[in-house]
Amino acid sequence: MSDDPAIVDCLIVGGGPAGLTAALYLKRFRRSVLVVDGGESRAAWIPESHNIPFFSHGISGKEILAREREHAARYDVVAETGRVTDVRKSEGGFRATIESPNGAAREVAARRVVLATGAVDVEPDLPDVPDAVRRGLVRYCPICDGYEAIGKRVAVIARGDRGVGEAIFIRRTYSDDVTLLTLGEQLDLEPGQEEDLREKGVTIVPEPVVGLDHEGDAIGAMRTAQQELHFDILYSALGLRYRSELALALGARHDERKALWVDEHCQTSVKGLYAIGDVVIGLDQIVVGMGQAAFAATHIHNRCEYPTEDE
Ligand SMILES: Cc1cc2nc3c(=O)[nH]c(=O)nc-3n(C[C@H](O)[C@H](O)[C@H](O)COP(=O)(O)OP(=O)(O)OC[C@H]3O[C@@H](n4cnc5c(N)ncnc54)[C@H](O)[C@@H]3O)c2cc1C
């Protein structure tokens, strides 16, 4: 426990599955923690997940978040609604600016910072997509829910070289009826890749989709100027935009997509700055983010002594 109330042991930016797990671990290590959350968890989009252990009958993303908040609240963790707009190095750790929803800004000092800021799915240019995602008509992650697509007619929205691997993954694992929709954009394929896709039984439709009908909780039809297409499941494979700006401003190492590099303790290349969950290079899954939270929190607790090893 920090004996200086003006400085928290750890500021956690983001209150999704990863950030809330880190808060839970740190509080159980009797550390002072501040969680600030912008309220835009990717998990909130999950209609029902079937790959979270312990929930054999499935659980929605909103329910996962509610249960995690309730669990953390038992240790007096309340995620403060707001945005961390800036994190800087300072003596003894970091200083950060928090902007509350009414626009007021304040400064906090933290010995360590965990970024659990997640990522945002790049949305396809389709009519009615926000509604279709909420209703489970458009999916983003065959690793999460491809199992529920077994034997179904599946379409994958692709752009550039994105989506090709996803279409092949679904074709080899779950369905022999897979179509790649390029929405009128150029596919950026290696020589021979298009033939390879066709040989593997993936159909390519290069025309833009001009209309989408839903029938109950299924896609009725997608219309291009030339044809009407029928699928049971539509995946969008356009990639993610990583919310890594705070770390990038501190010079943290990242890949070409701006996802963050971390070491085996989930520490970024900036000492004392940790990153967990979707914002990190790797597999964007809830259990992965939770595991990373456990690594980061334990390392923080073991190293964040008074004075700290680098003070
Ligand atoms: C449709 C869909 C279905 C999915 N299904 C599954 C599934 O079945 N199984 C599975 O394991 N995964 C699934 N996922 C992926 C899963 O949702 C993510 O892996 C998970 O939510 C990542 O957790 P996180 O805590 O890293 O980030 P998030 O859950 O995205 O939370 C990040 C939080 O940080 C906040 N934040 C960002 N920047 C700031 C800032 N500057 N200041 C304050 N707060 C900030 C955001 O507002 C947000 O609340 C699915 C995703 C989608 C979209």
pLDDT tens digits along 49-67: 999 999 999 999 999 999 9
Say if 311 falls within a structural domain: no
Could you report the per-residue pLDDT of 63-111, keeping only the tens digit for each? Answer: 999 999 999 999 999 899 999 999 999 988 999 999 999 999 999 999 9
Instruction: Find, among 203, 153, 148, the residue nearest to 175 by Cα.
Output: 153
Q: In this structure, are 100 and 127 located in the same domain? A: no
* Stretch 6-14: mean pLDDT: 93
- Cβ–ligand 1 distance for 277 under 6 Å, the answer yes
- Cβ–ligand 1 distance for 68 under 6 Å, the answer no
**Rounded distance from Cα 52 to ligand 1 centre (Å):** 14
Q: In this structure, are 184 and 164 located in the same domain? A: yes
Tokens of 237: 């494979």
**Atom nearest to 40 CA in ligand 1:** 47
The domain boundary, picked from 183, 210, 236, lies at 236
What is the C-alpha separation between 186 and 123, in angstroms, rounded? 17
- Domain extent, residue 139, equals 123-236
Say if 31 falls within a structural domain: yes
- Cβ–ligand 1 distance for 40 under 6 Å, the answer yes
Distances (CA, A) of 76 to 13, 20, 33, 69, 162: 17, 12, 10, 10, 43
- How would you class 102 by CB atoms within 10 Å of its CB: exposed for 0-12, middle for 13-18, buried for 19 or more? exposed
Which secondary structure element, helix H or strand E, spans residue 286, and what is its range? Answer: helix 286-303
Instruction: Find, among 19, 1, 8, 32, the residue nearest to 110 by Cα.
Output: 8
- The DSSP output letter for 38 is -
- The DSSP output letter for 149 is G
**Rounded distance from Cα 118 to ligand 1 centre (Å):** 5
Q: Identify the CATH number of the domain in which residue 248 sits.
A: 3.50.50.60
The domain boundary, picked from 236, 261, 281, lies at 236
Confidence (pLDDT) at 308: 54
- Cβ–ligand 1 distance for 244 under 6 Å, the answer no
Quick one: pLDDT band at residue 307, thresholds 50, 70, 90?
A: low
- Cβ–ligand 1 distance for 14 under 6 Å, the answer yes
Which secondary structure element, helix H or strand E, spans residue 63, and what is its range? Answer: helix 61-73
- Asked if 223 and 209 touch (Cβ cutoff 8 Å), the reply is yes
Say if 308 falls within a structural domain: no
Could you report the per-residue pLDDT of 106-129, keeping only the tens digit for each? Answer: 999 999 999 999 999 888 877 766
- Mean pLDDT of all residues belonging to the chain: 90
Could you report the per-residue pLDDT of 21-48, keeping only the tens digit for each? Answer: 999 999 999 999 999 999 999 999 999 9
**Atom nearest to 133 CA in ligand 1:** 1
Confidence (pLDDT) at 212: 78
Q: In this structure, are 254 and 219 located in the same domain? A: no
Confidence (pLDDT) at 4: 56
- Asked if 242 and 262 touch (Cβ cutoff 8 Å), the reply is no
The domain boundary, picked from 236, 259, 289, lies at 236
**Rounded distance from Cα 20 to ligand 1 centre (Å):** 11
Q: How many domains are there within the chain? A: 2
pLDDT surpasses 80 at 137: no
